[in-house]
Structure 1
Amino acid sequence: MTLAQVEDRIADTRLVPVRVVDNDVHPVPKNGQFGEYIPEPYRSKYFMKRRSGESITYDAPDYNEAKAMRMDTFPADGGFPGSDPAMAFRQVIMEAGCDIAILEPGSPDDIRPEIASARCTAINRWLDDQWLTGEGNWHGRWRGSICAAIEDPQGAAREIEYWAGHPFMAQVLIHAEPRPSWGDPKYDPVWQAATKHDITVACHLGRGSFENYPRPPVGWPSFNHDFMVTYSLLAANQVMSLIFDGVFERFPTLRIVLVEHAFTWILPLMWRMDAIYAARKGDLDTVRRKPSDYVREHIFFSTQPLDYPEDKLELTRAMEMMRADELLLFSSDYPHWTYDDPTWVLKHIPEKMRDAIMFENGIRLYKLPESLPALEGQKRVF
């Protein structure tokens, strides 16, 4: 089919290789669509008194007009960007050239575990019904995320158990903000359920609420600018907790993807962790290998946000030193204003790493097909 005839939905018998896996596309419910999926009594007692599906708690260029989104992603019906599966398919798959996209719905955490769990249950029902099954995924290019409220580890484990066999659910999605850190045994039910079903766990940069915002040791930041940078520090603390508290020894097949937390900071962190380990080897029975070995085997990162120094060679050298082809997954962050087009990202990745970052790591982590039926008129990135 041609781009203009996408809605005809004519099956193509030709197969094309998967060359771009986007691990960060954000769907949202249409206005009024979300409520029916929320379980009672939480629907009546909590959610029906608050807005759902279109609130963003950070500033961005032209926020009042664009709501931190690409201006061309607002649907004609007046809905919010990411609320129209057909429009997202056209812009992400046909025009940008992504072959498979991992959908990561927003799921704000809450100080009440039962509310966070109810929200995740509703999001998973909505995502399956509107995007993954039937009409919304007629082309088979969407893969979903099982939203799990890590604030409620037992409830999160139940949600994983329920959805793990779904053919289009590719990962578990959690937040990094809740305390204590992930190395605490209280979260073991989440890791156990994920490893039981051999499904990757992703943590997306979140928008916590109340005391769950990622507060730095020196106190609350003054502006969104430092708040955004703080998320890399938050992720670094979670990485250290996973390693030094022995999570990967308890769950040796666990895979964690950190989405939108940046990634170049992992190189000096690995150096420092290895130095401490070498100096105090034997002090902890939870760490039996160099910390950098755990990182390379268990932890992965999204390309967005891509650090972009004035001297492009600095980024190239950093990626080579950290062996980025072992750790990175391409992500666009569609439809946000920080969107990275795959063609643009390709220009900033060392050529020898492109296959691994753009599609091979995604295929391996998410157990995706290596080829799909062709879509005539779809842009091919490379």
Structure 2
Amino acid sequence: MNERKPAAERIAVRCVDSDVHPVPKSGVLAQYIPEPWRSKYFLPRKIGEQIYYDAPDYAHAYAMRVDTFPPDGEFAGSDPDLMFKQLIMEAGADIAILEPAAYPARFPEVNHAINVALNEWQANHWLDSHNNWHERWRGSICVAIESPHDAAREIERWAGHPYMAQILIKAEPRPAWGDPKYNPIWEAATKHNLTVSCHLSRSHHEELPIPPVGFPSYNHDFMVTYSLLAVNQVMSLIFDGVFDRYPTLRIVLVEHAFNWILPLMWRMDAIYEARKSWVDIKRKPSEYVKEHIKFTTQPLDYPEDKTELMRAFEWMECEKILLYSSDYPHWTFDDPRWLVKHLPEHAREAVMFRNGIETYHLPETVPVLEGQTRVF
């Protein structure tokens, strides 16, 4: 391979994208899956056709932007150079947080094996000097939350990597995050000062989020249900005292929407005030949210009257809790140049890059790229 070197001149980071999805090329990931699970579980079956999804145009483009499929016939998001062209050069992201996904298995040991493989694959195919010569990619230490001790060991294994920016978990496994079984993960995260992010997932039908009246029928009600799953985890983290036990823990909820957090903070604060003598936590629930939890902007839901969204942004103090995200390469992609226009002017820099730099401990400058679009 030809050596590719970054420019010596650097430029200020003005756009951090907190939700970007790289995909392994055909046959690449299997070599990194540890035995016996590679031969015993993954190789005998076809992977990738079980997704629970009926998004628009899924049969044609698998819910991806049609222009994100590389010319070699591989899947959208599998080509670092094409993603670099579309997301960094054309859309203007300065740093992108990579969040790979894998269809989960029913066995914790198997989920751990696939996460081990995803981490090796990221390091060798995205974060290496050939593909990350521009210093724009940041990886996620993928772990199986249902296997906390394995997850903690995986965090220890990758915590020193210069381009691993966060820990990535799923929200579906029971019980909720306030349960002490997850302490090894929170301990490892705070020991290494790494943010823990949770991206929504699609699992086996019986493992999907369950509304009070049963399973959802379609993708559209399933997507709404995912906010309810995040509501549950936020309440568990706060009322079960996770942030009191781990006062430096940072959580990011990716693609779970965020407008619901405002009425939830109101409700939690009201209950806390009424039952303060019975509750063990030390502060108002809304204070924990604003200090410890952040949400990505995609999907940006807004009413017909966009001034109502602006008022909600003000009330929830969006400059404290939001991180810009695009969801590239999905069809729901939010271009940063479009998104920034929907934010209150005083919050734009915080949401588009300052919160991202702080949350992921990113550099404030990156090598100059001649011809790159600038969001600001």
TM-score range, shorter chain: over 0.9
* Deviation per residue, 1:335-371 (Å, 9 max, x gap): 0011000001011001110000000000001111111
Q: CA deviation at 1:154?
A: 0.5
Out of 350, 353, 359, the residue aligned to residue 365 of structure 1 is 359
Aligned partner letter, 1:230: T
Equivalent residues in 2 for 1:278-357, closer than 5 Å: 278-285=273-280, 287-357=281-351
Partner residue in 2 for 1:182: 177
Rate the CA distance shift 1:21–1:197 in 2: closer, same or farther, 3 A: same
Q: Select between 54-63 and 303-312 the one with higher mean Cα deviation.
A: 54-63
Task: Determine the C-alpha separation between the residues in 2 that align with 1:208 and 1:188.
Answer: 24
Give the equivalent residue in structure 2 for 1:263. Answer: 258
Note if contact 1:111-1:210 (Cα within 8 Å) is conserved in structure 2: no
**Structure 1: 5+ residue runs without aligned partners?**
1-6
Q: 1:10 to 1:201 in 2, by over 3 A?
A: closer
What SS does structure 2 have at the residue aligned with 1:220?
coil
1:26 equivalent to 2:17? Answer no
Match of 2:202 among 207, 225, 248: 207
Amino acid at match of 1:74: F
The aligned counterpart of 1:136 is: 131
Residue ranges of structure 2 left out of the alignment (5+ in a row): none
Matched, 1:375 2:369: yes
Amino acid across the alignment from 1:133: D
Q: Percent identity?
A: 66
SS at match of 1:167: coil
1:55-204 correspondence runs (5 A): 56-204=51-199
Misfit runs of 4+, over 3 Å: 7-11, 51-56
Deviation at residue 210 of structure 1 after TM alignment: 4.2
How many Å separate the matches in 2 of 1:11 and 1:109? Answer: 37
AA aligned opposite 1:83: S
**Equivalent residue letter for 1:248:** F
* Matched residues, number: 375
2:183 and 2:6 map into 1 onto residues whose CA distance is 43
- Displacement of 1:168 in angstroms is 0.2
Q: Give TM-score scaled by structure 2 length.
A: 0.98
Q: Could you tell me which amino acid in structure 2 is paired with residue 213 of structure 1?
A: L
In 1, the alpha carbon distance for the partners of 2:46 and 2:87 equals 27
Shift of 1:256: 0.3
Mapped to 2, the partners of 1:151 and 1:227 lie a distance apart of 22
